[in-house]
Structure 1
Amino acid sequence: MKILMLAFGTFFFKYRNQAFPLIIVALFIAAPPTTTVLGSAALEQSKDIIALLIVLAGLVLRATVIGYAYIKRGGLNKRVYAKDLVTEGMFGVCRNPLYVGNMLIYAGLFLFHGNPGVVVVGSLLFGFIYQCIIYAEEEFLANKFGEAYSAYCRDVPRWGLKLSAFSASTEGMAFNMRRVIAKDYSTISSTLIALLATEFYRVAADSISDQELSYAIVLVGVFVGVVALTGLVSSLKKMGVFDELTAAR
């Protein structure tokens, strides 16, 4: 089973940027988002608030990771690779803090959609995929860094957050908000777009009533604003505005 998971992990590490959006779109198309929970619109609103808080927690966790100690997660030529063993910043709190943040975002998106099948299948599927990716990374890191990595694994949890270690692991480090924007704007943008698209899907699933038309227009306006802002940040990055941050840790 471990060998199969390693193969899955290697595959999804290489193709996750293409596969993940397709999986999410397929799941969301398979069933429309819910409009009530147990027949109650109030419960639906409460569920959506909880979902948004989970998504926010994931984004904040990712921002904290990148703001203190960013590491490139794309590997080398789309294969698992690491030049150094990074253990400072949030990597002293959790061995995979970016993946934990991602799982919170995905779980929140699935819960926001609301269909029980989407919530269960989506959360379990992405949890399994990330575990496979982690196995592939762990094998590489263990082979390259040996006992140093083994000691790191003994001290820092794979999925959990050892918050008691946060102060020590970030001592002497400064949080870099500009780096968060430069490195994570695409994740923030895609998350907002997914939420807005899901909400518009919910409103327009059957037909847009006169009462819902204004809300639908607002959703479209916000969507356009997010896309425009994303394009602006991307253009600034290509112009070299964030060049000095690329070299910064």
Structure 2
Amino acid sequence: MSRFSKWAQTEHSPGARIIALIPAGAIFLVFFPYLFLVICPSLDQRLLPDSPKPGVATLIIGGILIAVGMFFALWSIEVQFTRGRGTPLPMMPTQGLLTTGPFRYCRNPMTLGTILAYLGMSIAAATAIGVTLVLILAGLLVLYLKRVEEKELAERFGEDYLAYMRDVPFIIPKTPRAR
């Protein structure tokens, strides 16, 4: 058992978990939205002056993606915090394998949610730079999940996680009936 696996077994109090989530929340709920809704559109205006401006269609499509994405992201965090007795942060991981709630639809519902939400913000703001940045960051996140996190989860949860990997899709959810 690796040092990380031993360390991951440490259960933290709800108060400690909330305190750990505050800076992460600031990054994901303040910094990234500011980036995709303010900075990227400003860069588009300077670097791509002929790019399209936000309109009704971009606002509707973006709004739907933001709503669906935030739903999955926040639902995932709630389940990790309450049922998993952990956080989405690697330094305070869940104490057990989560396979219910949003985790029954895909193995990475928080990733799905954040990608959809940030893509929605970029579409709502009609920023090509924002959409491109979201896709690049999503690709990097998928690489991290595949190369680091899945190996750690397989080490921590063994055959249970490997069976979960076989049965549940990585990010693109299947409907309950299709599973």
- With structure 1 as the length reference, what TM-score do the two structures score? 0.48
Find 1:101's aligned residue among 87, 92, 113.
113
Distance 1:94 1:118, change over 3 A: same
Aligned residues: 146
Question: Which residues in structure 2 correspond to 1:207-218 (within 5 Å)?
Answer: none
The SS at the match of 1:146 is helix
The one-letter amino acid of 2:66's match is: V
Find 2:169's aligned residue among 138, 150, 157.
157
Does residue 31 of the first structure (1) align with residue 50 of the second (2)? no
Find 1:122's aligned residue among 121, 133, 137.
133
Measure, in 1, the Cα distance between the counterparts of 2:62 and 2:49: 14
The one-letter amino acid of 2:162's match is: S
Is the 2:65–2:116 contact (alpha carbons within 8 Å) kept by the matching residues of 1?
yes
Is the 1:69–1:89 contact (alpha carbons within 8 Å) kept by the matching residues of 2?
no
Measure, in 2, the Cα distance between the counterparts of 1:139 and 1:26: 35
| Residue 55 (structure 1) shift | 0.5
1:78-101 C-alpha deviation (Å, 9 max, x unpaired): xxx443111122111110111101
Question: Which residues in structure 2 correspond to 1:165-184 (within 5 Å)?
Answer: none
- With structure 2 as the length reference, what TM-score do the two structures score? 0.65
Find 1:111's aligned residue among 123, 132, 138.
123
Measure, in 2, the Cα distance between the counterparts of 1:64 and 1:157: 18
Is the 1:94–1:158 contact (alpha carbons within 8 Å) kept by the matching residues of 2?
yes
Does residue 76 of the first structure (1) align with residue 87 of the second (2)? no
Structure 2: runs of 5 or more not aligned:
1-22
Counterpart of 2:76?
A: 65
| Residue 154 (structure 1) shift | 0.2
Find 2:63's aligned residue among 52, 57, 70.
52
Counterpart of 1:195?
A: none
Measure, in 1, the Cα distance between the counterparts of 2:43 and 2:165: 39
Counterpart of 2:16?
A: none
The SS at the match of 1:100 is helix
Measure, in 1, the Cα distance between the counterparts of 2:101 and 2:27: 29
Is the 1:96–1:158 contact (alpha carbons within 8 Å) kept by the matching residues of 2?
yes
User: RMSD in angstroms over aligned alpha carbons?
Assistant: 3.5
Structure 1: runs of 5 or more not aligned:
1-14, 169-249
Is the 2:106–2:171 contact (alpha carbons within 8 Å) kept by the matching residues of 1?
yes
Is the 2:44–2:51 contact (alpha carbons within 8 Å) kept by the matching residues of 1?
no
The one-letter amino acid of 2:109's match is: P
The one-letter amino acid of 1:95's match is: R
Larger radius of gyration: 1
| Residue 152 (structure 1) shift | 0.5
